[in-house]
Amino acid sequence: MTMYKQDPDDSRKQIPQPLIKTSMGRAITPTILEQYANPSHVFINNSGSYYFRYDCTGSAGDTPDGGYELGMHIAHGSQGGAPVRLDINPCAWSGSALNTKAALGTGDVTFVYRGQ
């Protein structure tokens, strides 16, 4: 598809072609320690410590081992409460709940994908 088309009123000019939306935006709640496509941004939905991995290789659904970096720590009741938006693009996440070493779970992080 070309970006411009001939102006119907003046054949010597071109006008912008309308963009065709190829996909809609979407949001998912990815499983902890599982690889996904990099999102447009992330929401943190619960208090805890959140770690993200940015350089995944392999396929979606793989479980990348190591390489996670602390991205956010949210104390209970801080930051104005959850959710908190992070403009980052990780491929996997990990985390632990407050005052415990228990892992967080599905629903604690949302990956948001912007439509094209």
pTM of this prediction exceeds 0.75: no
Helices H, strands E: what count in the chain?
Answer: 0, 9
Q: Do the domain assignments include residue 9? A: no
pLDDT in tens, 36-46: 999 999 999 98
Domain containing 89 equals 21-113
Q: What pLDDT score does 5 carry? A: 81
| pLDDT beneath 50: ranges in the chain | none
pLDDT at 100: 63
* The pLDDT value given to residue 87: 96
74 located within any domain: yes
- pLDDT, tens digit (0-9, with 9 covering 90-100), for 82-93: 689 999 999 999
What pLDDT is attached to residue 8?
86
Domain count, the chain: 1
Integer Cα distance of 93 and 26 in angstroms: 18
